Amino acid sequence: MKLDTNTINKIAKLARIRLSEEEAKELLKDMNSILDWVEQLNEVNTDAVEPLANISSAILPQRKDEAQDINSTDEILKNSPDKLEGYFAVPKVVE
């Protein structure tokens, strides 16, 4: 057992996902079994191995960093659940 209920709730808080007690219980079981299973990677000696972050074997070209006018504010705001005077609107942050 790697995780306990406290850790699950802490991770959930970090990920901004609220869990019901029941969900937390189920996830605890699943995640512990997954983490036990990935444990087998410790059998592999990786002492002199560089971590691989980008698998591409091509030379990745750079582009000029130039501003492009792609979308209008209106078009983007159309997808927003709540908006006000040309801005995204969210619940009050400062009391």
Partner 1 sequence: MEFKSITQLKTLLDENKISIKEIAETYIKRINEKKELNIFVYFNEDIIHYQAKEIEKLPNDKTLKGIPIAVKDLFCTKSMPTTAGSKILENFKPTYESFVTQKLINQGSMFVGKTNLDEFAMGSATNTSYFGNTINPLSKNDNPLAPGGSSGGSAAAVAADLCLGATGTDTGGSIRQPASFCGVVGIKPTYGLCSRWGIAAFASSLDQAGIFSKNVKDASILLQEIAGYDQRDSTSSNVQVPSFYKNLNPSLDGKVVGIPKEYTVDGISDEINGVWEEAIKSLEKKGAKIKYVSLPHTKYALPTYYIIAPAEASSNLARYDGVKYGFRASDAKSLDDMYELTRSEGFGKEVKRRILIGTYVLSAGYYDAYYLKAQKVRKLIANDFVETFSDCDLILTPTAPSAAFPLNEKQDDPIKMYLNDVFTVPASLAGIPGISIPYGKDKQGLPLGIQLLSKHYNEQEIFNAAFALEKDYE
Q: Which residues bind partner 1 (CB under 8 A)?
A: 3, 7-8, 11-12, 14-19, 23, 27, 30-31, 33-35, 37-44, 46, 49-61, 63, 70-71, 75-76, 78-82, 88, 90-93
In angstroms, give the least distance from the CB of 79 to partner 1: 4
C-alpha to C-alpha distance for 87 and 95, rounded to whole angstroms: 20
C-alpha to C-alpha distance for 9 and 24, rounded to whole angstroms: 7
In angstroms, give the least distance from the CB of 40 to partner 1: 6
Using alpha carbons only, what angle is made at residue 55 by residues 53 and 56, rounded to the nearest 5 degrees? 125
In angstroms, give the least distance from the CB of 32 to partner 1: 11
5 is written with which tokens? 């209920």
**Between 1 and 60, CB nearer to partner 1:** 60
35 is written with which tokens? 């983490």
Helix, strand, or coil here: 53?
Answer: coil
